[in-house]
Amino acid sequence: MGELLPHEVLRFDFDAIRVEARRQERVDPANLGEHKLASDIHAYFVNQIIPMVLQNDRVYEAASALVTQHADSYLQRLRESGRSAFEAQTGLRELWQKVIGFLQTLPPKALPGATVSLMKPSDFMKLVKFDELSSRAQAEANSLCRWAQDQEWYHLNVTLGKIADTYEMGLPRVMFVVQRAMKVQSGRAPKNTDGELLAPACYIDWFSSSAGDGHPLYPILGDHGLVEFYRVARNVANHHKGLEWEPGTDQVGLKDRGTTLAVHVQAFQQRERYLVYICDYGLRAIWSAFCEREKGAISDDLFDKYNNTFPKDFPSGEGARVRYYTRP
């Protein structure tokens, strides 16, 4: 791809939101509609937030404060949770390949004729006629199932941690700029408190009372059921007990004081992606616009910290060489 400036790499990584959402729809038909949701979020940042950071001083001021005061702590947390998530996803892909490879070695009599969709890797045991397996194949199946259940448990806990981090730290940061942009658009006068980074619930309450159901972020931030899920998940992630999970089911249990939520594993993972679409991708859009306008040492430093957040094999910028604004 040649050379890219920091804001171009960030913009490239932001644009990947639609590719990821389309991939999720191909992986599981239950994710149908996710691409439209992500595309609407993408269009909102492209058509409204990015131009306002570039052209409006009040919104640029918010983006600048986000970069200079609040980016470091979030990027450090993203570095921790993001690497765990990347490791868990990589392990899950390898596990699926192992399961498929094992099934391909079995004789026809050990497998049913009908095609069955597997929700998770350990479900392969539902396909197998165990009595038709050799003792060696039975031992291999049991070992593979135990490994699968361990990986599934790990992946769910990593996902829960990612939800908590994104809700607690990512959402306030992206809404710090989104709120400023919405206030400017509606002609509201500045307030002394506009420069304060608020708790996620404060931004959600403000958004719910200020945005209509046609707003691109409303399907997530305006959905009371989703908002309650994120609040409970954040709390459960910090409990001494954590989430509940029975390997033989597809339900994730979240208990927070008097609230108990049972969420299908597919919905659990999808709801994590919804937050990522708004926060992780949204922050890339905001940072990209800031860098494009500032074009200086602050942007170079921000990009270095962003770039160091991810593993070396993370697909950022499609391998392009970075040309800094102030460095040779």
Label residue 1 by pLDDT band (50, 70, 90): low
Q: What is the pLDDT, as a whole number, of residue 318?
A: 60
**SS3 assignment, position 256:** strand
Domain boundaries, the chain: 3-309
| pLDDT given at position 114 | 56
- Range from 39-43, 80-84, 111-115, 268-272 carrying the lowest mean pLDDT: 111-115
What mean pLDDT do residues 158-169 have?
A: 96
Which contiguous run of DSSP H or E holds residue 252?
strand 251-256
CA distance 101 to 13: 33
Q: How confident is the model at residue 43 (pLDDT cuts 50, 70, 90)?
A: very high
For residue 314, the model assigns a pLDDT of: 65
C-alpha R_g of the chain: 22
256 pLDDT higher than 90: yes
Q: What is the pLDDT of residue 328?
A: 80
**323 or 311, which is more confident:** 323
Distance CA 57, CA 164 (A): 32
Helix-helix angle 6-27:34-44, to 10 degrees: 160
Q: Which of 4, 46, 8 is nearest to 292 (CA)?
A: 8
The pLDDT value recorded for residue 16 is 94
Q: Assess whether pLDDT exceeds 80 at residue 112.
A: no
**Position 124 confidence tier, pLDDT thresholds 50, 70, 90:** very high
Q: Is the pLDDT of residue 116 over 70?
A: no
Query: How high is the pLDDT of residue 115?
Result: 63
The answer to whether 24 and 31 have CB atoms below 8 angstroms apart is yes
In the chain, what is the straight-line distance between the N-terminal and C-terminal CA atoms, in Å? 19
CB 39 within 8 A of CB 279: no
